[in-house]
Structure formats: C-alpha cells, structure tokens
Amino acid sequence: MGDNQAGEYTNLFVLGSVTLIIGIIIQIIYKTIFRGKKNEALKTEVESEGEAPAPEKISEKAVTDSRASGKRKKQAPWKGKTDFTHPWLLKNLKGHPGTVLLVDFSANGKFMAATCDESIAAVDPAGAAARRRRPRDRRRPPAPSPPPPPTPQRISSEELEEALRHHILDREQMFQMGYPLDADPHSNKAVMYVSKRPRRPQPLYTWDVNAPEFVPGGSQSDSGRGSWGSTPRSDSDEEADTVKHECVRCEKPFRMTRDGEYLVEESCTYHWGRFTDGRYTCCPTVVGSRGCTVARNHVWSGTKAGMHGPLDGYVRARSPRGGVYAIDAEMCYTTAGMELASIAVVAADGRTVYKTLVKPNSPVVDHNTRFSGIRPRDLARATKTLRDVQNDILGFVGTDTILIGHALENDLRVLKLIHFAVVDTCAMYPHPRGLPMRRALRTLCEDVLGRSVQCGGGGHSPVEDARAALDLALVKVHQERAQRMRLTHHHHHHVLHLQPYDPLVSAA
C-alpha cells in the first residue's frame, strides 16, 4: 500500500515539472516571434518614410514599449544622445521654433526632452508658456530719488574772514535790528531797542461773546448791580504786585506776579504758522478763525517794544582771537521770558565745535518743542548753566571773531553776549519790504541753497540751522567773487589804449 502511494506522488511531480518546462518554452517562443514581427513592422514603417532608423533606436523603442506595458521590469542600459534629422520626428515635435537638434528619453523612461536650434528662433527662448506662468509685477517702480543739492565750496577761515569784512553790521544796523549794545565800554551792562513786532491780521468786525452785559444806569465794573451795589474795589493794590504781559502767540494780555506766578490760569489758543496769502500755514483757515493749537498757559518773550536797559548779566570778549563761526541757539519759555535751552557752534569748514543743552534759570512754562526740539527729558539731564556756556563761548570767541547767524540778535540776547563782529543772513538777504520784515531761514534755504531745513517733526536742530546760515554766507561770497571776475574780464575787453598825441602822425 505504501509503495503505491509513493509511485503516485512521483508521477504527479514529474507531470508538473514537464508542464512547467513546456509553458516556459512556449512563452519564450511567443515573445521571440512577436518581438521579431514588431521590429519588422517598425522597420517597414520607417523605410516607407524614406530612411531606415538606426538599430539602437529600434531597440530603444522596443524597450520603451516593454516598460509602458509593465511586462519587463529590468531597465535597459542608458545610451548617449543622438542627433535627429528625420522629417517624421521633426513634424511631430510641436512648439519648437527652430530645427530640432536632439531628442531623447530620461533615465527612467518617463520623460522626453528635445533641443532646437536657437540661432534661428523667432520667439523668446523662454517661450510663451513661461511668460504666462510668470506673475506680472503690478507694483510701480520706485521713483528715482533726486540728487542731493550741492554744498557750497568750503574756503579757508582766513579767506572767509576777509570776504565777510564788508558784511559785518555797524552799530546803527545792530541798533535797528535789536542787538544788545554796551551801555558803557568799560562795563558789562547792555542796552537794546526792540522794534514793535508786526501784529497778526485781524478781521474787520469782531464779536466778543464774553463781553459783559450792558445795564442802563450801571457800570461795567459792577456786573449789572447798578449804583446800589457796594463800592467797586480799586485794583491798584493788585496791579502794584503784578506785571502785565502780552502773549507772543495769541497776542492776548495776561498778568503775572513779580515772582513769576500767573494771576489767572488761562489756556492759550493760537495759530503757530505764519499768515501768508490770506491763510495760515499751520491750517487752511482765514483771518479771524479760532486757533488750531491749544497751550496750557500764555507766554511772553521777556522783552517789550521800546528801549531796554541798562541790563545786567551780559558778558563780552576782551582780546582778539580771530576765526569765523556760525552759531544758533534754541529757546524755551520760562516765567522770565525766553531763555537759552540749547546751543550749537559750527566752524568755517562745517565741523561742529560746540553743542550742549542748557538748564534755564527760571521755571519752564513751555518747552516750545515744535520749534526748539527740546523736551522735558532733555532739560532734565542738562547740567550746564548760562554762566558755564558764556565761559565756554568766550574760550574761543574773541573781539574780532566773526559770528554768522540768522536773526542773530535773538541768540545773543539769550546768551547775554555783547559782540560787534556779526554777520546776519537777514541783512545779507533782506526782505523786499524792509525791516522789521525778515525772510525765514527755511525760505532762504529753499531759494538759495535748494534744500529743505526745519522739516522734521521733532523741532529745529541748532546744528542744521547753524550750517544753513554758514552755507548762505558762503553762497553770497562765491556770488560776489564771480561778479568781480566778470567785471574784471569785461573791463579788460573794453579798455581803450590811448597813444600820446603826435602832430606829424595826425597830419599824415
């Protein structure tokens, strides 16, 4: 029984092996026959076009077909690229502007790449498709920044000093412009004349809503109580202890005690801009409109129209030192008027030689940040006093040192410095209407230098203003030099060379 079962297993094994071998042989024969037929068909098709393809390309086509069908997983060896010039390949490669030079498949057989002749290309090499895919940049190109205005050519301090000699103000000009002058040549007391400040334009008709009510038979001082009220109190006692000032911003009168305290706390509503062409520069309003800025208190400049003096606390140089410097100071409002808060001195070559913050002697009422650029935290860290600054200035400023500035009398007032060798750009470039009208430094810089100053929101910079005044003086010096050269050249061309009279030559 066991022998029979063993014989049956042996027969089944032999039968299965024979069947497997026969199947493998049939598959090999099938592939060989059909592959030969496919190659012959491809060869016949290519020959019908007029030229037989290379054998290696036929094999590559067969390998690609086998990869596409998924029946052969073994990859064919990679072969080098070959040039194609057959018309069948050329007409089937769309989108190439020139003659196709090379076509081939990638290493994995999934992609086909082709190259064409770019020398005869009629379109952009990037192709229209690439341009469509690239997003359009709709942003406007940045406008080219204008070149910075040229700085006037610097000259030596000696040359500038010599060229500015005839621009130094005399005593009469200094008196008219309000410069502090010495009351006595041997003392430090000063006198000065302050001209009446041009008032802001006022409307023809005004309506005061705060005016007291008029009551027949009564007076304005008793507020409508008539003659039956108590006797009006005289204000002579109060007026004796107070001083009346006029606000330099809103031009309203206010009173302060002699100790610097406000008699009545009242806010100040004003226009900080200038009035030109019928409107204010700070806001587009007309004459008589309510101010656009509100301050906590009224302020005053410390001076009134008329003569002042003799005033104490002024200093002056005693020995010559030479040199030319441009100076500018920034002020703040205190209970005593305007006081020095910051100062900068610039040399003839544009270098900053001195700059410091100054601690005022009186309590500060308004830091005037819009124009001075001084903030409370700045003066909180200021250590120098006015006396310290005076000693520092007199360390390099002598009796013959030329000081350049714009409206320099204001700087010398707060510095309490008496000096006579001054060059004021307000006199160099006078206003068409004459004094006391003056051209603003910003306007002069725009017209003469072609640059803008005092445009920042943080207030004026004393260094920038001092350099601007120096550059204005340099431009004037260069203009005068060029004018003298033109006149000299014109004179040389039009001079008449006269010969002595000879009767014999004249008769001939």
Across the range 234-261, mean pLDDT stands at 79
How high is the pLDDT of residue 317?
Answer: 94
pLDDT for residue 450 is more than 50: yes
pLDDT for residue 357 is more than 80: yes
Instruction: Check whether residue 387 and residue 483 sit in a common domain.
Output: yes
How high is the pLDDT of residue 70?
Answer: 47
Instruction: Check whether residue 262 and residue 361 sit in a common domain.
Output: no
How high is the pLDDT of residue 223?
Answer: 38
**Which residues, in sequence order, are CB contacts of 162 under 8 Å at separation 6+?**
none
Per-residue pLDDT tens over the stretch 385-431: 999 999 999 999 999 999 999 999 999 999 999 999 999 999 999 98
> Per-residue confidence at 200, pLDDT binned at 50, 70, 90?
low
pLDDT for residue 234 is more than 80: no
The segment with the largest mean pLDDT, out of 84-88, 124-128, 215-219, 319-323, is 319-323
Instruction: Check whether residue 485 and residue 438 sit in a common domain.
Output: yes
> Per-residue confidence at 345, pLDDT binned at 50, 70, 90?
very high
Across the range 155-179, mean pLDDT stands at 93
How high is the pLDDT of residue 425?
Answer: 95
CA 57, CA 36: separation in Å to the nearest integer? 15
How high is the pLDDT of residue 394?
Answer: 95
Instruction: Check whether residue 313 and residue 289 sit in a common domain.
Output: no
Instruction: Check whether residue 351 and residue 459 sit in a common domain.
Output: yes
CA 316, CA 56: separation in Å to the nearest integer? 107
Instruction: Check whether residue 283 and residue 316 sit in a common domain.
Output: no
CATH number at residue 182: 3.30.420.10
Q: How many domains does the chain have?
A: 2
DSSP letters of 366-390?
A: E--HHHH---HHHHHT--B-HHHHH
Instruction: Check whether residue 374 and residue 437 sit in a common domain.
Output: yes
How high is the pLDDT of residue 283?
Answer: 82
Instruction: Check whether residue 246 and residue 320 sit in a common domain.
Output: no
Sheet holding 181-182, edge to edge: 181-182, 190-194, 306-311
How high is the pLDDT of residue 218?
Answer: 44
Q: Give percent above pLDDT 90 in the chain.
A: 31
How high is the pLDDT of residue 209?
Answer: 46
Sign of the alpha-carbon torsion through 236, 241, 245, 247: negative
Q: Do 430 and 345 form a contact (C-beta atoms < 8 A)?
A: no
Across the range 320-325, mean pLDDT stands at 94
Per-residue pLDDT tens over the stretch 39-97: 666 666 555 554 444 444 444 444 444 444 444 545 555 555 455 555 555 555 555 55
Looking at the domain assignment, is residue 331 inside a domain? yes
More confident residue, 200 or 33: 33
> Per-residue confidence at 100, pLDDT binned at 50, 70, 90?
low
Instruction: Check whether residue 381 and residue 447 sit in a common domain.
Output: yes
Which residue in this structure is represented by tokens 């036929």?
A: 58
More confident residue, 146 or 84: 146
Looking at the domain assignment, is residue 18 inside a domain? no
Per-residue pLDDT tens over the stretch 462-482: 999 999 999 999 999 999 999
Domain that holds residue 244: 236-295
How high is the pLDDT of residue 64?
Answer: 47
Instruction: Check whether residue 483 and residue 432 sit in a common domain.
Output: yes
Tokens (6 digits) for 182: 């010495």
Tokens (6 digits) for 173: 């000009």
How high is the pLDDT of residue 288?
Answer: 72
- 168-173: long-range contacts at Cβ-Cβ below 8 A with a sequence spacing of 24 or more? 168/402, 168/420, 168/421, 168/422, 168/423, 169/422, 169/423, 169/424, 169/427, 171/420, 173/427
